[in-house]
Amino acid sequence: MDERLSITRLTKGKLPSLPFLELKQAVLGKNYELSIAFVTPKISKDLNRRYRNKNKATNILSFLIDKNKGELVIDTATVKKDAPKFDKNYAEFIGYLVIHGMLHLKGFEHGSRMDSMERKFSKKFGF
């Protein structure tokens, strides 16, 4: 895999086979250094409490390290639980969340512009 994308799995079970490198390049560009960590609800809850002052697990967290470097933290158990609320299966929802998280890394905040970008990339990748 490209040295500008690293994936760490701190969970059990199989991850969906998604085009993570292509997603990163489409949204963030070839020179962006992205790490994606798949974690447990406990880790997600600890990070969410520490950095967002929210005492619950969440499906994704985005951490901007610098202009061309960031990390996504994805709680796979919460993703599985939340996917039906978004009318998506597990794999589709992870793909969507990766796009969502990367847009946050680019500086987008929730709103119509971000929604439009999410739809554009989700359509391109079939999520």
- Please give the pLDDT value at position 2: 55
Full set of structural domains in the chain with CATH: 5-125 (3.40.390.30)
CB of 58 closer than 8 Å to CB of 78 = yes
**How far is the C-alpha of 102 from the C-alpha of 63, rounded, in Å?**
10
> How far is the C-alpha of 21 from the C-alpha of 15, rounded, in Å?
15
**pLDDT for the residue numbered 106:** 95
pTM of the model: 0.92
Joined tokens for residue 126? 């079939």
Average pLDDT of 101-112?
95
Non-local (6+) Cβ contacts of 88 within 8 A are: 96, 127
- Model confidence at 1: pLDDT above 70: no
Residue 32 has pLDDT above 90, yes or no: yes
- State residue 114's pLDDT score: 93
